[in-house]
Amino acid sequence: MMARSTDPELPWGNWLRMEMGKDAKPVFVDDETGRSWPSLRSALWTGRLRMNLYNREPSSELLETMHAVLAATVRRSPTFREQATDLFQGNQLYLRLFHLWLESNDLVGLDTDGHGANGLTSEGWSVLHMLMATRPYDVRRERPSGATISALCELGLGPEDREERLARVEKEASRWEASFLRRHEAGKPSIVLSKRGDGLVPVFQIVWTLRMETVEQRDRFYEWLCLRLDRWEAWGQKASEYGAADLTMHLLQVAAAALVDASND
């Protein structure tokens, strides 16, 4: 499947036709070529990107990484070291290769100074819409779990005063699978990570807390977190799997990498 002119407001693959295959399962057909795929993700992976299947499926890990890189590019200016630290376990060479791969497929544009992806192309936007809409249920669950495309584009980024921006993020995110919220804990201005638990009644639980000395310190760091709300679900998963201390260390590493990125602007 060759790259084609795409509408950045519509999910990638919207031109495909769904019909029932020989095994009574739906397939997605490209009328121009006659090729068919069992899913939109498979059409993107093997048809558009010309990648091989892994265990007869598109690589869910790489598609999730693509999703994360595209979403991060929407929210922030080029953050090469931050993305490497947060998404690629510090491996800058792997991230550079990933960026070059996305650029070679005309999904992102690259910063001329080598600081990473500086924006999505029309097709990159379309792919992000599709990846967000087709996330596996074991990742996405059946209920709204995180930032929508609309939220990625504007939530917390508007011209309002800081308090208005932060309060709007809190209101919007409070029912997400994982959300950072401002609180007072043990008499200190604090930030907590609220995450929906498992079980018959999946109530919200506090899985991480950071106490500050002043409200200004808390709100400044909360603003930094809000700029990265596309990562909240993944950071919530890290806190659940590895513990609060591991998340604290990870956030410190990401913040340090972001400072280096900022000093190179």
Q: What is the pLDDT of residues 216-264, one digit of tens each?
A: 999 999 999 999 999 999 999 999 999 999 999 999 999 999 998 888 7
Q: Minimal CA–CA distance to 68: which of 198, 196, 238, 192?
A: 238
CB 65, CB 89: distance < 8 Å = no
Q: Minimal CA–CA distance to 150: which of 128, 135, 165?
A: 128
Q: How confident is the model at residue 141 (pLDDT cuts 50, 70, 90)?
A: low
CB 99, CB 108: distance < 8 Å = yes
pTM, full prediction? 0.87
Residues 6+ apart with CB under 8 A from 237: 178
Strand extents, DSSP E, 92-203: 108-110, 117-120, 178-185, 188-196
Q: How confident is the model at residue 136 (pLDDT cuts 50, 70, 90)?
A: confident
Span 19-64, pLDDT tens digits = 987 777 889 999 988 999 999 999 999 999 999 988 788 888 999 9
